[in-house]
Chains A and B, each alone.
Chain A
Amino acid sequence: MKILTGNDLATGDVIWWSGAAWSRHVEDAADVADQGEAIARAEEGARRVTGAYVIDATQTPDGPRPAHIKDRIRALGPTVRPDLTLKPADPAAGSWVI
């Protein structure tokens, strides 16, 4: 599947296109098929996102998992600071990245 990601223009937060809006959680990411570039252009024009790009991902029971480790780290947070990730209470979250 193809999913769309970028950074919130104002906050810099990593965000994922959920189909109708942006979410901070990759689990919410929607398959954008071949529409990713067009959505990115429209959303960048609306100043809701910056640096948007399309990535490959795999659909899993827990939601989309980005194909590349770089995007998995973006999705969770720095592996060396679990307290700063989106799942600070989940000790297994790091293994999802690796």
Chain B
Amino acid sequence: MRCAESLRVQAFFDAEIDAVSAADIERHVEHCAECRALLQDLEQVRNVVRRGSGFARTSPQLRAQITRALDTQGGAATAAPEGTEYFSGTPPSDRTAVRKRSQLPGEFASRNWRVRPFWLGAMGGVGGTAVAATLAFLLFVPRPTNPLLDELVSAHGRSLMPAHLIEVVSTDRHTVKPWFAGHADVSPVVADFEPQGYRLVGGRADYVDHQRSAVVVYQHGAHVINVFSWAAGAGTLPDNVTRVGYHLAFWRQGDLEYCAVSDTGWEELLGLVRLLRDLGARDAGNSVPH
């Protein structure tokens, strides 16, 4: 009933396949009506789910409660082996657990890998994935590591904590852009891309690469995208890279260097980068005297 290529078409839709296979799928879709319809359906489901879902957030009360619970843990739990439980399926010890509200038993229930020897062998479970991820991390991160990447990732992480994200709250580029004039050393491209799914929510100043940088903050669905910008230096920009679960996309335009950081998917992050670059190119074109 289903076309044998349907899972590959889905992978194509999710940007999970390489360029060669993608070209392959595009050719297939041209003469397979079923897969053409499938692509449409996938797009429709994505639109409905992304448009309609309320993006729940941790309430301040729950956040405070968790912080208090962490406080009671103190610095006592430095025993490294305990942590391995998440990947090995060993029952955790609950000696240090705070269990006031919890009905969670000490028995560690996630043992379903036992009845799935097939993929246990195939993948080695999450532990295997973690090892693979670590290997990939070691292989693909350029060495020596660029401190700029760490700086950007931690600045992004900091911004996600409550009340750290935005200094000027506005969806209006005519408010955000002038604000930078007094608070940062650069004046980046700013625009609201709400119709394309990237809502301008504000800006702030942050230190990157030893200088004040302008950060424009966008909201894409449940995700925050920080677009850092600073005066271009003499060095080369890093390649686009994924660090500890965050994607970093770099580009240079005019006399500024930009980096967009987020835990969106790659294609979603690059979508914003394209919009910003196009806008920057248009602005540059307009400012040239004729």
Q: Do A and B come from one complex?
A: no
